[in-house]
Structure 1
Amino acid sequence: MSSIPVTVIGNVVDSPVRRRAGNGEVTKFRLASTERRVDAATGQWVDGDTFYVDVDAWNTLGGNVSAGVVKGDPVVVIGRISTSEYEVDGAKRSRTVIKASLVGHDLSRGSATFKRTPRNPEVAAPGPADPSNPLDDGATLDDGAPLDDRAAAEAGDLVDAPF
């Protein structure tokens, strides 16, 4: 089975489902991507064909997908597309699937709030939240520093960097 790198932009067709599989956990969902083009005769946008594909997101990525993506969300999926073959009642079948390496919301169609997942829960365990700061949920960086750097910026400890 060979696989090809691919990026697909579309909408989540069904609610992501997380389950234990093999050596880990996988979150599965179906993605629909519809071609949009300008009709030369009318100058209007028209929908073309819709491409449907199954997406598998494994382990940590899958956990984040199941926690943050719902049916109908516009997303960008990057991964490797392949065909998986299997048998049902003696009949050979196949399915096209993307093994995702990245899944993100399409921010050209809405906004999102990002919540960092700690890499090492022992080091980055949430501390007490600052009730006067609506953005402070108590989360910290891996080194224990708070995610909210406004206090450091006000103290002059941060240097502006171009992005």
Structure 2
Amino acid sequence: MNETIVCTVGNVATQPVYRELASGPSARFRLAVTSRYWDREKSAWTDGHTNFFTVWANRQLATNAAASLSVGEPVIVQGRLKVRTEVRDGQSRTSADIDAVSIGHDLARGTSAFRRSGRPETGGAAAASSRPEPDWETPPADEAEADATQQEPEPVVVT
């Protein structure tokens, strides 16, 4: 109930590793998050410290992340922060993991083409998903003008 939810913006540092487990699909990758600040002496933006997080995704999010993400791409990750400390060879190591709820490309730094993934077919949902999706696209300006000029004008009635 009391969980630490974080939203991080960074770059994919390692290629996502995808696994099919008994509990369902799972994927993980490393996320590099570098702070930036304005250096008044240099009059330029400067990179600060880089934090690395291991991002874990499960189920459909894991499948989509593995198919969509590549090293170096800017992403936004939202999820539950898990900080772990373990002792290995007498040394204490601390790691920060994010159990992802949502992952997406950072559109402030580039473009992305979204493709809806297929959903597993189930009884009642199959009929609802077979309906065609409406055409939401706006025609280009020249096509809209051509359509408007091809329509027959309404007759003018003078009384």
| Same fold by TM-score greater than 0.5 | yes
Give me the whole-angstrom Cα distance separating, in 1, the residues matched to 2:95 and 2:30: 12
> How does 1:4-153 map onto structure 2 within 5 Å?
4-21=4-21, 23-84=23-84, 94-121=94-121, 123=126, 142-146=129-133, 148-149=135-136
- Provide structure 1 residue ranges, at least 5 long, that are not aligned to the other structure: 125-140, 155-163
Question: 1:48–1:26: structure 2 CA closer, same or farther, 3 Å change rule?
Answer: same
TM-score (structure 2 length as normaliser): 0.72
| Amino acid paired to 1:36 | R
Contact kept, 8 Å, 1:53 with 1:97, in 2: the verdict is yes
Which digits, 9 at most, give the CA deviation of each residue in 1:75-119, with x for residues without a partner?
Answer: 000001112456767977553100000000011111000001233
Counterpart residue identity of residue 54, structure 2: D
Deviation, 1:24, is 1.9
AA partner of residue 101 (structure 1): V
Q: Which moved more, 1:37-46 or 1:55-64?
A: 37-46
**SS state of the match for residue 14, structure 2?**
coil
* Identity over aligned pairs, percent: 34
Q: Looking at secondary structure, tell me which structure has more helix per residue.
A: 2
CA RMSD of aligned residues (A): 2.9
Cα–Cα, structure 1 residues 64 and 147, in superposed 2: closer, same or farther, change >3 Å? farther
Count how many residue pairs are aligned between Structure 1 and Structure 2: 135
CA distance in 1, matches of 2:106, 2:87: 35
